Chains A and B, each alone.
Chain A
Amino acid sequence: MSPVLQGIITIIIGVGGCVGYFYFANMLLDKVIFPARGVNTGRNINRANQVRPWLFLFPAMFALGVYLVYPVIGSFYRSLFNRSGDEFVGLGNYILLASSPDFRQAFFNNLLWVLIVPASATFLGLLVAQLTDRLRWGNIAKSIIFMPMAISFVGASLIWKFVYAQDPDIGIINAIRASMGGDAIDPMQIPFWNNFFLMVILVWIQTGFAMVILSAALRGIPEETIEAAIIDGANPFQVFFKIKVPQIMGTIVVVWTTITILVLKVFDIVYTMTGGNFGTEILPSYMMDFMFRDDGQATAVAFVIMIVVLPVMIWNIAQARKEMR
């Protein structure tokens, strides 16, 4: 069966199944299990209303349970076993990782990514948001800077290959170097700094995200505070750093953490640009090296990523609970 036909059938079954489930389960509850008639009408309506939320929630909770909750436990469990999964090795995989220079390299590089990418993207996003705020053509500028958000990491990597290519007739950086009399270099093979060239790609993608959120936050600042500062003689820089930034600090933190989480998940850029060679390995790409070859180590790396993400997760939950109150 052709995948297209399979896809159409899946949509019909999927959507039809969902509609059918919700409709008939609801009907079953109201008409058959707790019918709103007879002696127990009142009690039955109450009972039905107690059950209904779970009826609505069930498919989502089931899918979340299988596809996100189970894997956290399943991955940890699997990481305690050896390559073929038949021998319990305890924390053996983790000890192996800790003693591997490649893993330490990946961990260190990932640390660099986590420190630099969110900071740069947030800073640039804030800069663009502020600069375009009252600009007549600001919306066009924002649109262009936001655009990379729509592009896949693979596509973005290819785009940047045309910037970084060693051939001065392809790579614009080497063309500029050549016009100034420099030799052609391969930015992807310069030890240590190649990490930063890779980070540029993610910053290029994520700045738009930061800009959109921070731009909205800047718009939300009460005008009176700014006007008061200006009347008091503040110059534009003071207005920005002392009046505006403190008021949107909460949003800045949200943007920062969101990009941090993303940085810990993106393997595409390293995979496409260097394949993890030349000392550019990061944890997600390091994990893919083991995928399909050594599930024990792969899950151990994945769980390390999870542990790194955990503080952000707890902080997010705490924020969400605070908001709900």
Chain B
Amino acid sequence: MDSIAGRKSGLSWAVNITVVVLVLLWLIPTVGLLVSSFRDRDQISASGWWVAPFSVELTYRTRADAPPVEADGRFTLTGNIFDTAEVRDSFAAGESTITAFGVRAREPGAFPAGQAVDIDDGQTLIVNRDGSYELTSPIPPDDRGPRVYFVADTPPDFTLDNYRTVLTADNMDRAFINTLTVTIPATVIPILIAAFAAYALAWMDFPGRGLLIAMVVGLLVVPLQLALVPLLNLHNQIGIGQSFVGIWLAHTGFGLPLAIYLLRNYMVGLPRDIIESAKVDGATDFQIFTKIILPLSFPALASFAIFQFLWTWNDLLVAKVFLPSAGDAQVMTVKIADDLLGSRGGDWGILATAAFVSIAVPLLVFFSMQRYLVRGLLAGSVK
């Protein structure tokens, strides 16, 4: 419409700015999760992810463990605070700057760096910005050295530690494999069943066809909640119980209405000429289906496969009900919602990482196959 008179450039600016704002609003929460998953856990609790590229003031505690030197009846300890045993590992990467120090846990940053202060019993302490310290005392300090707290500017620390923890210690690797195990059969099996039914509903003439189509449309919106109790009882009665077989069957059943609906809508749109000329040439329905319809329906099959994949991967409800709640059968969504949020509720780094691990595959599928997803949505926008 740019070329059409009446479009003012001011309006175009407003449009651009509005869209930028909306896009940012949509993007910011996800970026927060992604950034947090790479941050060190101390840094997460010390500063927001939006300042992640900047250094953070973190509080450390250590002991001034330099050997005391006696002179004129006073004992002097000199050294660099970054070299003390308790914090050496944290500053292995390089120097940092001290902003404040203290001697009590309640006030770890009581004094500014570079200021000499009297602490108890005639002792004096100074910690400089570069970490060098000097402590003098009238009595010999104990062997381990006196406690010192300090606040240091710590450079941003991006690590893969969270991923290592999540994937090894937290059983998330198992949950990832469980999710895959649930998802793939639950995506593949309904396609074939639905494709035959869709062909019958699209191109074969039989009494009651309209009624069946109406039924499929109606079943599209049946709330899953209804299915939980009766089907779990049924599974228990026929001996499947809560198991992978049960969840595959359940996902197959729940996915069928959309599959049939999408595929039928697509197949109906295929050119009648091709099918009729194949019939004239003596092809049976079975041959028409396998040799003509199925290859031509590839885009619709792909759309449904993506839908079903995303839906089963992201599902929490069906997995909670149809899989055993024991740890080794949990899928990722259940693991996060029931396990991590409870036990790791305050560990934001772990939560962010677990969430990101669980959404990484759907995002990959989404961005690589967006075209099919959009096409599927447009064809089956009743669901």
Distance of A63 Cα from B223 Cα, bound (Å): 16
Distance of A26 Cα from B285 Cα, bound (Å): 9
In the complex, what's the smallest C-beta–C-beta distance from B312 to chain A, in angstroms? Answer: 10
Distance of A18 Cα from B185 Cα, bound (Å): 13
Check A316–B351 contact: CB distance below 8 A. no
In the complex, what's the smallest C-beta–C-beta distance from B120 to chain A, in angstroms? Answer: 33
| A52-B285, A59-B197, A236-B11 as given contacts; A162 in contact with B316, CB under 8 Å | no
Distance of A17 Cα from B139 Cα, bound (Å): 86
Give the contacting residue for B185; candidates A11, A53, A69, A154; CB below 8 A: A11
Distance of A312 Cα from B219 Cα, bound (Å): 11
Check A147–B363 contact: CB distance below 8 A. yes
Q: Per-residue CB proximity of A266-308 to B under 8 Å, as 1/0?
A: 0110011000000000001001100100010011011101100
Check B200–A131 contact: CB distance below 8 A. no
Distance of A235 Cα from B340 Cα, bound (Å): 54
Which residues 334-373 in B have Cβ within 8 Å of A in the complex? 336-337, 341, 348, 351-352, 354-355, 358-359, 362-363, 365-367, 370, 373
Size band of the interface chain A makes with B: 35 or more
In the complex, what's the smallest C-beta–C-beta distance from A122 to chain B, in angstroms? Answer: 12
B245 within 8 A of A: yes
Residue of A nearest to B177 (CB): A4
Q: Per-residue CB proximity of B289-319 to A under 8 Å, as 1/0?
A: 1000000000000000000001001111100
Q: Which of B44-52, B111-119, B141-149 contacts A (4 or more CB under 8 A)?
A: B44-52
In the complex, what's the smallest C-beta–C-beta distance from B346 to chain A, in angstroms? Answer: 9
Check B226–A67 contact: CB distance below 8 A. no
- A residues near B7, Cβ cutoff 8 Å: 236
Give the contacting residue for B363; candidates A4, A151, A163, A271; CB below 8 A: A151
- A residues near B225, Cβ cutoff 8 Å: 265, 284, 287, 301-302, 305-306
Instruction: Identify whether the interface residues of A are mostly helix, strand, loop, or mixed.
Output: helix
Give the contacting residue for A150; candidates B22, B310, B336; CB below 8 A: B310
Check B226–A64 contact: CB distance below 8 A. no
B1 within 8 A of A: yes
Check A213–B381 contact: CB distance below 8 A. yes
In the complex, what's the smallest C-beta–C-beta distance from B27 to chain A, in angstroms? Answer: 6
In the complex, what's the smallest C-beta–C-beta distance from B358 to chain A, in angstroms? Answer: 6
Check B244–A7 contact: CB distance below 8 A. yes
Check A61–B316 contact: CB distance below 8 A. no
A19 within 8 A of B: yes
Check A299–B229 contact: CB distance below 8 A. yes
Check B213–A320 contact: CB distance below 8 A. yes
Distance of A163 Cα from B32 Cα, bound (Å): 8
Distance of A7 Cα from B180 Cα, bound (Å): 9
Distance of A234 Cα from B193 Cα, bound (Å): 52
Which residues 94-137 in A have Cβ within 8 Å of B in the complex? 124, 127-128, 131-135
Distance of A151 Cα from B29 Cα, bound (Å): 12
Residue of B nearest to A65 (CB): B253
Give the contacting residue for B29; candidates A30, A204, A303; CB below 8 A: A204
Interface centre among B30, B226, B254, B317 (most CB of A within 10 A): B226
Residue of B nearest to A171 (CB): B48
Check A69–B4 contact: CB distance below 8 A. no
22 residue pairs A–B, Cβ–Cβ below 8 Å: A3-B329, A14-B189, A26-B284, A52-B200, A53-B205, A64-B215, A71-B228, A72-B222, A74-B229, A152-B358, A160-B29, A163-B32, A169-B44, A170-B348, A212-B377, A268-B316, A268-B317, A272-B337, A299-B230, A302-B226, A305-B223, A321-B214
